[in-house]
Amino acid sequence: MIIDKTIEEITKMVDLKPEEIREHIEDWAIPLMTKGIIVRLNIKRWRGRSKIEPEELGIDRIDEQWESFSDEYINYGSKLLLPKRILKRMNNVECSARRNIKEYSFDTVWGQFVPCSVFDEWKTKNEEIKEKYIKEARLIYDDYESIIKEVIEEYKQMATKTYKRAKMTEDYTSFENRFIDNIKREIISKEDFLESLDYTSLYYFIPLPSQVKEEIYDTKQLEMKIEDVESEQNMKKIVREEAIRKKSEYIEHFLNATVGKIREMILEIIGEVKIGVNIERSEFSADKNRKKLLGMIEKIRILDFYNDSEIRDSLDKLQLDLEKDKEYRSDEEIYKSLEELETVAKSGIIKLIGGKKLLEI
């Protein structure tokens, strides 16, 4: 984990207790947690799906033993109650919204953490996607009757095939009516379809570990004021220890999801670029990987809300090499810049947390 690794590195260099180093790291990390908010997208609608019953596949369940086994172990899947092209249109818009939030955020245990530095940009794009979502839904609503008519016609054809496969003694007209009536009961009205729609962005602050710290302090103060029996003292001790553990976990999760994630992303892209490159580097091609590397640089800059100067300086150098005119571009120099960036990404976060100041303590 990122904090444990950093503590281990610093203890090798200075005469400080691990808990002192941890406190310094946590004091540095807590303000970062206020530089953004948690965003949750609540996108809902009637999905136009329903469970397939065995009778719809021409399977007769008159055997009680088979019926019991089937209910326990067999999933017959689901059926669509809207045409696939209709569902795909709505799904595509929803996927756009999910991709957009992913582009501008970090995936944390609380949800998607969107830095303040890119919040407005994300929100503008999210509003555009929301408008498209509502527009697609309105098109479906306006044409709902004809869409459902198409669905019913398709299921009538399926009823014919099911009837023949099941070799039923019931007359076909009665079977089809019952079959289609079951489908109709599962299709909601156009008003209910409209009512099922929701596209809401919910915003939260990360519960700050500093608040947990205050809880710890308050508990200590209470212990000092009240003479408790031993069981009560033990109970307060458990609560305090749990609060301390929770505070450390909060910060560890946050740093791994942000600082750690960016460095992990860099190493992943560099690893992809370096695949197949031999020791002499003769197989490395800047032109082949230029677009991917420039995309990585842009992505990192968007998410660098905590001002990682080491990473930023290395990215600047790499970008400068990549943006030179082709005749002046050197694969050797670009590869060298990549290796320097890789080294920085693999290093700890000592400098980032004010390690120089810490080492002078």
Segment 91-107, tens digit of pLDDT:
999 999 999 999 999 99
- Which of 185, 204, 223 marks a domain boundary? 204
Same domain for 167 and 64? yes
In sequence order, the β-bridge partners of residue 200 are 42
- Give the separation between CA 160 and CA 175, rounded to whole angstroms: 9
| 144 is a domain residue | yes
| 354 is a domain residue | yes
Residue with more model confidence, 327 or 341? 341
Same domain for 346 and 284? yes
Per-residue pLDDT at 280 exceeds 50: no
Same domain for 55 and 188? yes
Same domain for 181 and 330? no
In sequence order, the β-bridge partners of residue 80 are 49
| 7 is a domain residue | no
Report yes or no: 197 and 45 within 8 Å, Cβ to Cβ: yes
Per-residue pLDDT at 43 exceeds 60: yes
Same domain for 262 and 200? no
In sequence order, the β-bridge partners of residue 42 are 200
pLDDT of 285 reads 66
Q: Can you point out the beta strands (E) in 134-240?
A: 198-204
Q: What is the mean pLDDT of the chain?
A: 83
| 120 is a domain residue | yes
**Which ranges constitute the DSSP H helices of 258-324?**
259-274, 286-303, 309-322
The per-residue pLDDT for range 170-206, each reduced to its tens digit, is 788 888 898 899 999 999 999 999 999 999 999 999 8
Domain count, the chain: 2
Per-residue pLDDT at 88 exceeds 90: yes
- Which of 169, 204, 239 marks a domain boundary? 204
Sign of torsion, CA 94 98 246 305? negative
Which residue segment(s) compose the domain that 330 sits in?
A: 258-359
- Give the separation between CA 333 and CA 317, rounded to whole angstroms: 10
Percentage of the chain beyond pLDDT 90 is 44
Taking the model in full, what pTM does it have? 0.81
φ, ψ (nearest 5 deg) of residue 79? -120, 150
| 225 is a domain residue | no
Per-residue pLDDT at 278 exceeds 50: no
| 266 is a domain residue | yes
pLDDT of 233 reads 67
| 123 is a domain residue | yes
- Give the separation between CA 298 and CA 42, rounded to whole angstroms: 28
Assigned token pair, 336: 């060298």
- Which of 204, 222, 249 marks a domain boundary? 204
pLDDT of 53 reads 73
Per-residue pLDDT at 262 exceeds 90: yes
φ, ψ (nearest 5 deg) of residue 37? -135, 160
pLDDT average, residue stretch 133-143 = 96
Same domain for 59 and 186? yes
Same domain for 59 and 173? yes
The separation between CA 203 and the C-alpha centre of its own chain, rounded to angstroms, equals 15
- Give the separation between CA 99 and CA 54, rounded to whole angstroms: 37
Same domain for 197 and 264? no
Per-residue pLDDT at 222 exceeds 60: no
Element containing residue 78 per DSSP (H, E): strand 78-80
Per-residue pLDDT at 108 exceeds 90: yes
pLDDT of 112 reads 97
Per-residue pLDDT at 165 exceeds 70: yes
Same domain for 264 and 163? no
Same domain for 51 and 155? yes
Assigned token pair, 16: 């400080």
Burial class (CB in 10 A: 0-12, 13-18, 19+), 223: middle
| 213 is a domain residue | no
Same domain for 193 and 57? yes
pLDDT average, residue stretch 127-141 = 97
Amino acid letter, residue 93:
V
pLDDT band at 279 (very low <50, low <70, confident <90, very high): very low
Q: How many residues comprise the chain?
A: 361
Same domain for 190 and 52? yes
